[in-house]
Structure 1
Amino acid sequence: MPGTVGRVPTPAGPLPGTAVPGTAAVAGHPRWGATALGPYESWDPAVRATAEVVLGSPAPMALHLGAELLLLYNEAYAELIGDRHPHAVARPAAEVFAEVWQRPGIGDVIEHAYRTGTPLLDKEIPLPLHHAAGALDQPVYTRACSPVRDSRGRVVGVLSVVAETSPATRQLQGLSDFAAALSGTLTLDDVARVALRYAITSFDADRVSFAVDDGGGAAGWRMVRRVRGELVDEADERLPPLWRRGPAGWSAPAVVSARTGQATFIDDGEPLHEIAVDRHDQKIRALAAVPLRASVVRGALTVGYRSAHPWSAAERALLAASAELIGQATERARRFETQHGTAQLLQRSMLPENLPVLPRLRIAARYDPGVDGNAAGGDFYDAFVLPTGELGVVLGDVAGHDVQAAARMGQVRAALRALALNDPRPDQVLTGLDRLVGSLGAEAGTYELFVTVAFGVIDVGREELTLASAGHPAPLVRRCAPSGEPRAEYVDVPSGAPLGVGYRAATRTVAFSPGDTLLLFSDGVVERRRRGLSDGLARLAESVAGAPSGDPRSLCGVASAAVPGATEDDVAVLAVEYALRPSRSARMEVPAEPTAPSRVRHWMTAQLTEWEVAESVIGAAVLCTSELTTNALLHAGTAARVEVDLSPERLLVSVADSGSRGTVTRARTETLSSRGRGLGLIEELSDAWGTDPTVRGSTVWFEILLPPT
């Protein structure tokens, strides 16, 4: 749908058969076909989604669409405007309200929100909406106006929520912002965060919860809650919400409401007595449970108070409207997660699950999907030991963002490793790979198959790095001699043309000394809209040079965040550090049991004490590791792996899980509420920390720099 539409003449009166005020008649009104917007079915998906929320809401809502601010509204709004309905459907608002549109605070508010994209809130203002027998009635309303954006982010209309002012209906002013926040959610975790934050604030509740089925059938349910006063900081928002799981027949009020599709309202009692896990649940006396009423996903929202609370009709309507919005966002999230999971499983299954572990070379990699996480991309990386004992490293990008690109990526990666194991010279490897890409293109009957790739061989004995590139960004080396400040420099390797479009072999050999770190990266790291490539490359070099250490895992995180702004491309980074001295490492497999964090603390303390690490570092490291282990077990529910790597410069600890989100043995809710505080401690006690997606799950890590000895 275009951001602006021209003025299109509209009929002066209703068309035949348009007197039915139902929502289907409003959306399917034939008058839309005569406007610049076109029939409802042709509208942008994001705009249609907003329209469906409006038409399904019991709260009075109207959409003003396009430059003419054409009206689409629900039945509650139709009642407010009286005999202006149904003539107002698909008509310019300035014509529908012609006698009052030019008054201050009427039409100018809508027009300003459309022009500037700025949300506005008017409290207790007279709005002459009703028109009957030539008289204007002006009751007092609260009105919230928010810009409506299409799937490309352009403002294409204004959402207006209006209600007569009262203590309950004033809460409706937050519905517009709530709908806008939900429109930006992608996953069920995102929906849960937004829904709980809104519910506990808007209703001033003591406890709120959000429950959703685990995929239908007998899969069971999962539920997440928030309680008044619970600390949730920015660090906590970065990790998945901590879901509590239950069986298919769970008696939790939220699950019962979701399963039956019936709302329940308890004014005073002990509604959570049977499922209470702590004092927060036990103290709840009044509880409302409202089903989401989504067509595919079953779920519910609950709001509770510690004192008796009669539920007014206005509150019930507000809860129903909120649940309607959450239900539509939940269904979108479930579809996204299904598509996203399939694409990412394909992508990650073709990447190496484990990278080599060598005495002097530390290796790490990171892959993040672009803005459209549903698409499988062609970025790939690899690192492997050659028959000569040298290390081969590669990072490349196969053109395309679909399943075919991911499949070709797998072919190219496998062929490159085979060629390198036969003859590791980088120019010869890429020459052979060029022939393969040309053959694949001929087989597919396309001239659009090409691959950019950088391949290098690290010789520790000679302290040399030999590189060849085919149309790929120049590799970056962080130089860090024992004395002097770190610096970052791009390797001047001839890039030439990509494979498949006339690659010419060329190599460059440079020094690679102890303390240096090699960084290979895809163009998604440095390219941004409305930013020059040179600016992105400069920011990357500056960030890498200013990193607290040359640790490869830390540098991968630094590189991924070096250039501000979102990227629509995939991001892949591979880093290799030539350590000044060999590091010491240890690992522990952690079972999904309640006693696991305690066992990890004892193991960590004994291991670091044996390595003669300073007591201050041991204390901080043990605390951080215990927190990350607890988080991994709670939000993944499977066994975890703790890895410790100690070098003369820093201590690196990582905790990996398999991300299956299974059941955690005897996980108690009071334990969950401390997560934000613990994660804040990690930020305070470590010099760097981050999260990395892996082939089968995710890894959270932290780094503590060691004091000089």
Structure 2
Amino acid sequence: MPGTVGRVPTPAGQAPRAPVPRAATVIGHHEWGETVLGIRESWDPAVRAAVEVVLASPAPMALYLGDELLLLYNDAYAELIGDRHPQALGRPAADVFTQVWRLPGVGDVVERTYRTGEPFLEKETPLPPHSDGLDPAVYIWACSTVRDSRGRIAGVLSVVAETNPATRQLQGLSEFAAALSGTLTLDDVARVALRYALTSFDADRVSFAVDDGGGASGWRLARRVRGEMVDESDERLPPLWRRGPADWPAPAALSARTGQPHFVVDGEPLRDIAADRHDQRVRALAAVPLRASGVRGALTVGYRSSHAWSAPERALLAASAELLGQATERARRFETQHGTAQLLQRSMLPENLPSLPLLRIAARYAPGVDGNAAGGDFYDAFVLPTGDLGVVLGDVAGHDVQAAARMGQVRAALRALALNDPRPDHVLAGLDRLVTSLGSETGTYELFVTVAFGVIDVARGQLTLASAGHPAPLVRRCAPEGAPGAEYVNVPTGAPLGIGYHPATGTVAFSPGDTLLLFSDGVVERRRQGLSHGLARLAESVAAAPSGDPRALCAAATASVPGATEDDVAVLAVEYALRPSRSARMEVPAEPTAPSQVRHWMTALLTDWRVAESVIGAAVLCTSELTTNALLHAGTEALVEIDLSPERLLVSVADSGSRGTVTRARTDTLSSRGRGLGLIEELSDAWGTDPTVRGSTVWFEILLPPG
């Protein structure tokens, strides 16, 4: 009965369901004597013959016997009703399908056929969608009477037959198109395409290949195989890409180069490029090129047994490749624009922050809107002629290239003014005149800048700040005998630069153990939420951080207020360390033995520094994972840096292979996927990723035991 049952195959990437008993076995052991039918030996010979026919049929068939319409069915029908088997056997159909039996066109059809003897045929009956994410199938459903030896109606025979599988698969194209419309990057496109191809074609192996851009570029290919474990975190992460040269003999690359589809009915289509047994076992393969003018690529679908590619299947593959080509081309344009805009943005920010004995500094920037435009947020930290540290964080209005260019002018001018006269109010007063002049020159009087500039005097333990329309900075106070707290600096805010700034400063204590946090409004502002809510959440997160380490506080700050923001996010943190830290760095060559070299170097160094063995083991393991990841996926040398303070061990691994593009997280490509990500989360107290102009830096922090 199609209106009441559900197809429940094992979804791709999940463990197979536990074996279920065969229908004939359950029927043989059922206590029929307790039903209105009586023991099986007493059944009418015609009814017993009908039961045998049903059990022997490869098509889904069911019997509804007696006035209660007791349900009997075969193994094919058991697959359709999923978890209802085997409990459904021998029970009234109305009790088995309670949720839908009384719906029009469901139970009334079976009851009318049983009562009147009139047969029923429905040529196109869709099954209801289910939580496994598969597209609803279309079935032919027929009901006819079963009569006993005397010609009386004893029950109803229900036969269910799925229509042409290609018809069902074509229905999934609209959902595939909808899913592709929500993709932005090639990683997103690949993830959607692989999931769709694996389930829609019921394939054993699928792959998506695309060129790397440029005339003589190579290829990258992502694949999925039936039965591989893909957990929730993996499904959110970009797929692992396999690289190939420009003349790669892979069927996907060949189809993309020639623009022609290739079909192998039976053979070894992946023999020359097989990466493992999954590739070696493929016997039938279809490779269909993407139809796009700005990008070359292909989709492949493979089976472990011979497969004759029917005309409907070929048409479906061509239609799928058409949709995939459009999405791939759109994603390529987005990534190109995204990379250009963000490279411009980051080239105007300081590539390296000062390294001082007692002041540890870290910053983080994340683009807002759709990440496809340069913005005006900026930060900086520099040593003044007096030996003090100048810190600044500001926001030039706008989210375009012009805003980024103005941001570069403002940042350069502020540093020049501070090097001449570091008093914060004098610096912002001079900067106000510049912004006003720029607005006048460009003919717009809507140019304004918010900025907070401060000077940290370590000798006096003071922080002097001036703010022009910017959110008040936050200070995490060290509390040796209690829980740390966080408080906003009481500094006169004033108006933004360019619209009437009046100089004013505020001075507060800044003692060893304290950490200063400057942030842009994108950190705390959310739609339909008050600003006070965001400020309170930020203070709570900073106070609850495991340490005052600036890198950890930057990560905590950017994640403190839930929900997406349309604005840029910039954070700068400065920690006044209790005691100087010890640091070391190692340049790691791009060669297979590099992770081993890092492990030996790090173990010897931390042992010499008298770090606890438990911390050494965890740190070495995490660093090895990050180093392997950087070398494997960035393809360039890496830089490992260690910073040891009395409170914590901080390790960072930087690569230079992302060409200035911004990734949400470098840990999404850890060498062992879920295992690597789990190691970092399990063994460290905090971790994060910081995109830079030339690549990305992944870091982790481990708190040291007392003493």
TM-score (norm 1): 0.75
| Matching residue of 2:359 | 361
Residue number in structure 2 paired with 1:384: 382
Tell me whether 1:303 sits opposite 2:287 in the alignment.
Answer: no
User: Does 177-186 or 224-233 show the bigger shift?
Assistant: 224-233
What is residue 457 of structure 2 aligned with on the other side? 459
Aligned residue among 558, 563, 580 for 1:565: 563
Contact 1:592–1:633 (CA<8 Å) still a contact in 2?
yes
- The change in CA–CA distance for 1:503 and 1:161 in structure 2 (over 3 A counts) is farther
SS at match of 2:368: coil
Aligned pairs for 1:84-95 (under 5 A) are none
Change (3 A) 1:248 1:545: same
CA distance in 2, matches of 1:509, 1:294: 60
Kept in 2: contact 1:424–1:457 (CA 8 A): yes
**Aligned residue in 2 for 1:657:** 655
Contact kept? 1:638, 1:661, Cα under 8 Å: no
Q: For 1:679, give the aligned amino acid.
A: L
Deviations 1:657-676 (A, max 9, x none): 113479xxxxxxxx987333
Matched-pair contact (CA < 8 Å) for 1:478–1:489:
yes
Query: For residue 425 of structure 1, what is the aligned residue in structure 2?
Result: 423
Contact 1:455 1:469 in 2 (8 A): yes
CA distance in structure 2 between the partners assigned to 1:198 and 1:565 by the alignment:
29
Q: Which amino acid aligns with 2:611?
A: V
Alignment partner, residue 206 of structure 1: 204
Q: Is the 1:479–1:487 contact (alpha carbons within 8 Å) kept by the matching residues of 2?
A: yes
Matches within 5 A, 1:371-520: 371-520=369-518
Q: For residue 358 of structure 1, report the CA deviation from its aligned partner.
A: 1.0
SS in 1 for 2:622: helix
The separation in 1 between residues aligned to 2:276 and 2:659, in whole angstroms, is: 23
Shift in CA distance, 381/221, structure 1 to aligned 2, threshold 3 Å: same
Structure 2: distance between partners of 1:204 and 1:498: 60
2:375, 2:403 within 8 Å by CA — same for their partners in 1? yes
CA distance in 1, matches of 2:468, 2:670: 49
Task: Give yes or no for the alignment of 1:218 onto 2:202.
Answer: no
**For 2:640 and 2:237, how far apart are their aligned partners in 1?**
18
Residues 578 and 239 of structure 1: CA distance in aligned 2, closer, same or farther (over 3 Å): farther
- Separation in structure 2 between the aligned mates of residue 475 and residue 540 of structure 1, nearest angstrom: 11
Any idea what SS the aligned residue of 1:289 has? strand
Give 1:161 shift.
9.9
Distance 2:342 2:185 in 1: 14
Q: Please state how far the C-alpha of 1:393 moved relative to its aligned partner.
A: 0.4
Q: Given that residues 231 and 673 in structure 1 are in contact (C-alpha distance below 8 angstroms), is that contact kept between their aligned partners in structure 2?
A: no
1:59-114: per-residue Cα shift (whole Å, max 9, x none)?
xxxxxxxxxxxxxxxxxxxxxxxxxxxxxxxxxxxxxxxxxxxxxx9xxxxxxxxx
Give the Cα separation in 2 of the matches to 1:660 and 1:144: 45
* CA–CA separation in structure 2 for the residues paired with 1:617 and 1:323: 50
Query: 1:163, CA displacement in angstroms?
Result: 6.6
Structure 2 partner of 1:674? 672
Paired residue secondary structure (1:181):
helix
Of 468-477 and 264-273, more deviation after overlay is shown by 264-273
CA shift, 1:141, in A, is: 5.0
Q: Does 1:648 align with 2:646?
A: yes
Residues in 1 aligned to 2:358 and 2:589: alpha-carbon distance in whole angstroms: 31
- Does residue 608 in structure 1 map to residue 606 in structure 2? yes
Q: Once structures 1 and 2 are overlaid, which stretch shifts more, 549-558 or 406-415?
A: 549-558
**Cα distance change of structure 1 residues 672 and 479 upon mapping to structure 2, 3 Å threshold:** closer
Query: Which moved further from structure 2: 565-574 or 294-303?
Result: 294-303
Instruction: Compute the RMSD of aligned alpha carbons.
Output: 2.6
* CA distance 1:341–1:574, shift in 2 (3 Å): same
Residues 238-280 of structure 1, C-alpha deviation per residue, up to 9 Å, x if partnerless?
Answer: 6653322222221100001111122222222111111123222
Match of 1:270 among 268, 286, 290: 268
What secondary structure does 2:415 align onto? Answer: helix
| Cα distance in structure 1, aligned partners of 2:659 and 2:245 | 15
Aligned in 2, Cα 1:470/1:207: closer, same or farther, shift over 3 Å? same
Change in Cα spacing, 1:181 to 1:580, as seen in structure 2 (3 Å) is farther
Closer, same or farther: CA 648–672 of 1 in aligned 2, 3 Å? closer
> Aligned letter for 1:293?
R
Match of 2:124 among 117, 130, 140: 140
Per the TM alignment, residue 608 of structure 1 is displaced from its structure 2 partner at its CA by 1.4
Contact map agreement 1:142 1:173 (CA 8 A) in 2: no
Matched, 1:259 2:296: no
Superposition pairs for residues 515-594 of structure 1, below 5 Å? 515-594=513-592
**Structure 1 contact 296–331 (Cα < 8 Å) conserved:** yes
Deviates more, 1:301-310 or 1:428-437: 301-310
Contact 2:658 2:696 in 1 (8 A): no
Structure-2 change in CA distance of 1:595 and 1:200 (3 Å): farther
Mark the runs of 5 or more structure 1 residues left unpaired by the alignment: 1-104, 106-121, 126-136, 146-159, 663-670
Quick one: distance in 2 between partners of 1:677 and 1:227? 19
Measure how far apart 1:401 and its partner are. Answer: 1.1
Partner of 1:331: 329
Partner of 1:219, secondary structure, is: coil
Distance of 1:176 and 1:609 partners within structure 2: 60
Deviations 1:416-462 (A, max 9, x none): 00111111111111011111111111111111111000001111111
How far does residue 312 in structure 1 lie from its aligned partner after superposition?
3.5
Relative to structure 1, is the Cα distance of residues 201 and 687 closer, same or farther in structure 2, using a 3 angstrom cutoff?
farther
Residue 27 of structure 1 corresponds to none
Report the CA distance between 1:467 and its aligned residue: 0.6
Q: 1:91 matched to which residue of 2? A: none
Give the % identical residues: 86
Per the alignment, residue 350 of structure 2 pairs with 352
TM superposition shift of 1:375: 1.2
Task: Report the Cα distance in structure 2 between the residues aligned to 1:359 and 1:161, rounded to whole angstroms.
Answer: 65
| Separation of aligned partners in 2, 1:314 and 1:338 | 36
Q: Is the 8 A contact 1:398 1:408 kept in 2?
A: yes
How far has the Cα of 1:491 moved from its partner? 0.7
Which residue of 1 is the match for residue 631 of structure 2? 633
In 1, distance between residues paired with 2:237 and 2:183?
15
1:229 shift after superposition: 4.1
| Matching residue's letter, 2:319 | A
The whole-number CA distance in structure 2 between the counterparts of 1:697 and 1:355 is 16
Q: CA deviation at 1:515?
A: 1.3
3-state SS, counterpart of residue 410 of structure 1: helix
- 2:518 maps to a residue whose letter is L
The CA deviation at 1:555 is 1.1
Please report how far the alpha carbon of residue 174 of structure 1 lies from its aligned counterpart in structure 2 after TM superposition. Answer: 4.1
| One-letter code aligned to 1:368 | A
1:516 and 1:238 map into 2 onto residues whose CA distance is: 37
For structure 2, the residue ranges without an aligned partner over 5 or more in a row are: 1-99, 101-105, 110-120, 130-134, 140-162, 661-668
Deviation track 1:578-599 (CA, whole Å, cap 9, x = no partner) reads 1122111111111221221121
Does the 8 Å contact 2:634/2:656 carry over to 1? yes
SS at match of 1:545: helix
Distance in 1, Cα, partners of 2:596 & 2:205? 30
- 2:124 maps to a residue whose letter is V
The answer (yes or no) to whether the contact 1:469–1:495 under 8 Å persists in 2 is yes
**Compared with structure 1, are the counterparts of its residues 240 and 333 closer, same or farther at alpha carbon in structure 2 (3 Å cutoff)?**
same
The residue type paired with residue 326 of structure 1 is L
Partner of 1:703: helix, strand, or coil?
strand
Maintained 8 Å contact 1:384/1:393: yes
Cα distance change, pair 478–227 in 1 and its aligned pair in 2 (3 A)? same
Query: Would you say the 8 A contact 1:371–1:567 is kept in 2?
Result: yes
Larger radius of gyration: 2
